[in-house]
Structure 1
């Protein structure tokens, strides 16, 4: 995104997991970690990183990591980043991923930040209220550009609704989705549920499906880099997370004309969905309301077609072009 705007971009990865194409230069600290870990090895990686920063003299650093170790993050903020304008990004409403438990330590850790970027207005409001920072701004996640034509996409010859993402039930709450689906009329209407993704809770969710006697109605498909060919053929997409930041699942689905049914978790859904305009927004943890919303999109054809017709236009403001301008304005302002 920034590379296309003419910036020189360097990516520093702390894990040796490079799954997507990128533009710019890569410093893969994860490779060093796989060769040797431990206290001295970690210190050596910090030295490598510090020398890299000194060599290139960057205008600014954008830190997208989770930051929940106060001692480590204080060393990074006060020693590694001290000479540079640093933008910290907060990608979840669960602030424990990014801030120490003690507010005074958080204020110390972030006191030299050039800016703090939240991915939703709700996160911005929470951070400002909790810590009193006055340099917080919101820049939404952009819609990634994927093709909806994919030769490796599995052939699906039945009607389905879709949920996709990491199979982590403590966050994504697929259990709520399964309970609501079991109470809805979708299985009777031959509308299957596909759960697309990989993760540690696959077997747990399969047992849940069996206990609900939905083995013929719920299908699991493994993670794919480009989900849009599957998304684009879904009747609608569901999100049932306990918490989020700014869920890409919703904006990706809407971008290909597929309406959504989502719980109103913290945070993001209510900044994306206009209820009964591009999707349906229901109170979180209410399986009855969620089941009724699912049924609405099956039986109320006028409502469904209205939401489907407005889906694409509703997320034009999250295009890469629009979000790139927000980042450019911030970088030039600090």
Structure 2
């Protein structure tokens, strides 16, 4: 039995880390696993996959993805007239490109795991030959359909969907009746209780360099909204007098803007940027509190990793993922998206209440059981048994 796991790049993001766990899981279930990387230059986490996985590299241009051109209709008035012609032309170009590929491999299951137009199209349009097809939605069905209705066309071709949240799913199906008949299953991202080995030298360096610190991990872009955390840090320093520093791990399009903001707010000695780190365990292990500031989120693996290392959490109410995990502040403090002052108050209240921090450490460990690897493996096996 063979599985193809198709990814729109294997950089340092949360989706890729979840894919590593599922690759292990399919191998445990007796499958041979091939990994298709559609952005060959984004390969930072490849070495984390099981050695039994084979890697294939297929570069597919954005311009060859017909469904993405629905954005023309959304953005410009004339788009609705141009779209049919562009769609048909791109579709023919994509099929022509497919003909230039070497013999397509055959699989029992082909999985579009990133949930982006590129990997969804790769599976839906048979760049690999799969007896059954699946795709992962790293969020709710509604959130993807709001981004673009053409996601629905790709889902119809794939038929079997795994979602992380059922938030507004009934409303989404009612508004898109052409999707009736999809096989939709909710399944959480798996998390292993096993912690990676710490590098004592890095741990000690972190303590010496940053002292006690708050931690956020994530790519730098508008959706992750690190600026709100930085403004909250300014509030915490000036109005609450905290001694803890802030460490931000990641890279991305808004990194330079955030560095300029830190300088503008005179926080250079309190906020630290590390760039991408593949040894995040050394930072979880030495942090005091974990911060998450996204505007929109699927099911953020970083929250689960923070819980694993015993970190209390303050996070924005980024739907559907954060409320799905933290459950109305039962397992971590939730504040409003984009509200720096509210985040600052939540962080201060947490730092100044040791009993609350102890409670959230214990509750985090309790919550992790719902994401435990063996439980998710049983659910996955059941889902596979009922694929259309």
**2:294 corresponds to which residue?**
241
**1:332 corresponds to which residue?**
385
For residue 29 of structure 1, the aligned residue among 57, 61, 70 is 57
After the TM superposition, which residues 54-69 of structure 1 pair with which residues of structure 2 at under 5 Å, given as runs?
Answer: 54=106, 58-68=107-117
- 1:278 CA drift (Å): 2.8
TM-score by length of 1: 0.83
Worse overlay, 12-21 or 259-268: 12-21
**2:226 corresponds to which residue?**
174
Distance 1:319 1:129, change over 3 A: farther
- 1:119 CA drift (Å): 2.1
Distance 1:206 1:112, change over 3 A: closer
**2:104 corresponds to which residue?**
52
**1:7 corresponds to which residue?**
31
Consecutive unaligned residues of structure 2, counting only runs of 5 or more, are 1-24, 65-89
2:355 corresponds to 1:302: yes
Contact in 1 for aligned 2:185/2:383 (Cα 8 Å) = no
By percentage of residues, which structure has more strand? 2
Distance 1:152 1:309, change over 3 A: same
TM-score by length of 2: 0.73
Q: Distance in 2 between matches of 1:156 and 1:13?
A: 33
**2:138 corresponds to which residue?**
91
Contact in 2 for aligned 1:122/1:268 (Cα 8 Å) = no
After the TM superposition, which residues 1-334 of structure 1 pair with which residues of structure 2 at under 5 Å, given as runs?
Answer: 1-16=25-40, 17-18=42-43, 19-20=45-46, 21-23=48-50, 24-30=52-58, 46-47=98-99, 51-54=103-106, 58-68=107-117, 77-80=124-127, 84-92=131-139, 101=148, 103=149, 105-122=150-167, 124=169, 127-132=172-177, 133=179, 134-143=182-191, 145-150=194-199, 153=202, 155-157=205-207, 158-168=211-221, 170-185=222-237, 188-275=241-328, 277-334=330-387
Distance 1:316 1:283, change over 3 A: same
Contact in 1 for aligned 2:136/2:161 (Cα 8 Å) = yes
Distance 1:131 1:300, change over 3 A: same
Please give the secondary structure, in 1, of the residue aligned with 2:117: coil
Distance 1:100 1:278, change over 3 A: closer
CA deviation string 1:39-83 (max 9, x = no partner): 9997687347683334xxx222111134437xx966852554676
Worse overlay, 130-139 or 312-321: 130-139
- 1:310 CA drift (Å): 2.2
Q: Distance in 2 between matches of 1:33 and 1:88?
A: 18
Contact in 2 for aligned 1:197/1:221 (Cα 8 Å) = yes
Q: Distance in 2 between matches of 1:228 and 1:109?
A: 37
- 1:139 CA drift (Å): 1.3
Q: Distance in 2 between matches of 1:68 and 1:98?
A: 12
Distance 1:197 1:83, change over 3 A: closer
Distance 1:79 1:218, change over 3 A: closer
Worse overlay, 146-155 or 272-281: 146-155
Contact in 1 for aligned 2:225/2:293 (Cα 8 Å) = yes
Contact in 2 for aligned 1:146/1:226 (Cα 8 Å) = no
Please give the secondary structure, in 2, of the residue aligned with 1:317: helix
